[in-house]
Amino acid sequence: MYTKKVYKLKDMLMWTRFESFFFTILVTILVGLYYFLGLEWLKVPWTPLALIGTAVAFVIGFQNNAAYDRIWEARKIWGGIVNTSRTFGMFVQDMVAEKIPGTSSKERINQEIKILTYRHIAWMTALRHSMRSAKPWETVMMEKANRKWAKMIKPPEQQTKIEDDLQPYLSDEDLKYAMSKNNKQTALLYLQSHHLKRLKEQDMVWEFAFLEIENILKELFTLQGKSERIKNFPYPRQFATLNHYFMWIFILLLPLAIIPQFAEIGAEISAIHTKGGALFIWLSIPFYVVVAWVFHTMEKIGRTGENPFEGSSNDVPISTIARGIEIDLRQNLEESLDEIPSQFPVIYDIQM
């Protein structure tokens, strides 16, 4: 997630530089044909083009709203994971204890609390790896303008294997069980529930405490399912694809309406200033480039926000969120700072 208060105009222009060059070359060629070769028939009327532009603007607005809703919902889901994880850590520390005094040692209780807490960290790790897995419709980082960013800001999940990330938090048996499942995060929540059941049977968790912690696991399942829904259900392609084509149709036809309009204005100016009127048509170049850039950039912003877990600079920083929860939980276990991993670094003002 981009952390600066203001997205620099320089960054935005660099992000859209290839399209801006194309717009400039296209309109310059058309103005040259119109000015030097006198191809005055090379034009389209404003009325149908205005109708297309209006439709494109509405669809782009709808797409951007839908994309923002997906990003905002994803952020709320992971905000819920933050709160529920802290609650889980608190419940485990305060509710796992000997039901009958003297039946369990303090070391045993602390060990059980640590196992449950570490397995929860493993659950978050498995979930963020799942959210960063590539889907066929996630193509934003493959676009030419984003390839450079993709090489510089790879999310942590693309740099390490999930098995290596899970190993510090799980026993060999639990790791083998989780890795044997397609949905590893679900398997880990099952292990949590089984573990709590055993503790209840051993009189280390009260019946009421067991139900309370099980409700926390239920909430984690709900949040996990919501996150997976966003990941596995893309923005409807009939909207995204057709909108992309409509936008390009409008942009390619737009200079054929703008150039004649500037030529007519130039002809009127010629009555007052001959040279200025003759050259006025060339002002259609910057005017067209700005209009085309605005439409294209707004559509591109919508496409970029469709998949909030893809790993782009504008996605929800789930790696940073998960690591922040881990740091909180392990500090509450009274672990030393040397034992706790540091937060993922911010690269080029981007949280991952």
Q: Which segment, 220-224, 244-248, 249-253, 301-305, is predicted with the most confidence on average?
A: 220-224
Per-residue pLDDT, averaged over 55-77, amounts to 90
308 or 146, greater pLDDT: 308
Percentage of the chain modeled with pLDDT above 70? 92
- Asked whether the predicted pLDDT for residue 153 surpasses 80, the reply is no
pLDDT band of 4, cuts 50, 70, 90 = low
Query: What residue ranges do the domains of the chain occupy?
Result: 9-332
Percentage of the chain modeled with pLDDT above 90? 47
Per-residue pLDDT, averaged over 323-332, amounts to 94
Single pTM value for the model: 0.86
- Asked whether the predicted pLDDT for residue 173 surpasses 90, the reply is yes
* pLDDT for the residue numbered 22: 92
Per-residue pLDDT, averaged over 201-213, amounts to 90
HEC states along the chain? Answer: CECCCCCCHHHHHHHCHHHHHHHHHHHHHHHHHHHHCCCCCCCCCHHHHHHHHHHHHHHHHHHHHHHHHHHHHHHHHHHHHHHHHHHHHHHHHHHECCCCCCCCCHHHHHHHHHHHHHHHHHHHHHHHHHHHCCCCCCCHHHCHHHHHHHHHCCCHHHCCCHHHHHHHHCCHHHHHHHHCCCCHHHHHHHHHHHHHHHHHHCCCECHHHHHHHHHHHHHHHHHHHHHHHHHHCCCCHHHHHHHHHHHHHHHHHCHHHHHHHHHHHHHHHHCCCHHHHHHHHHHHHHHHHHHHHHHHHHHHHHHHCCCCCCCCCCCCCHHHHHHHHHHHHHHHCCCCCCCCCCCCCCECCECC
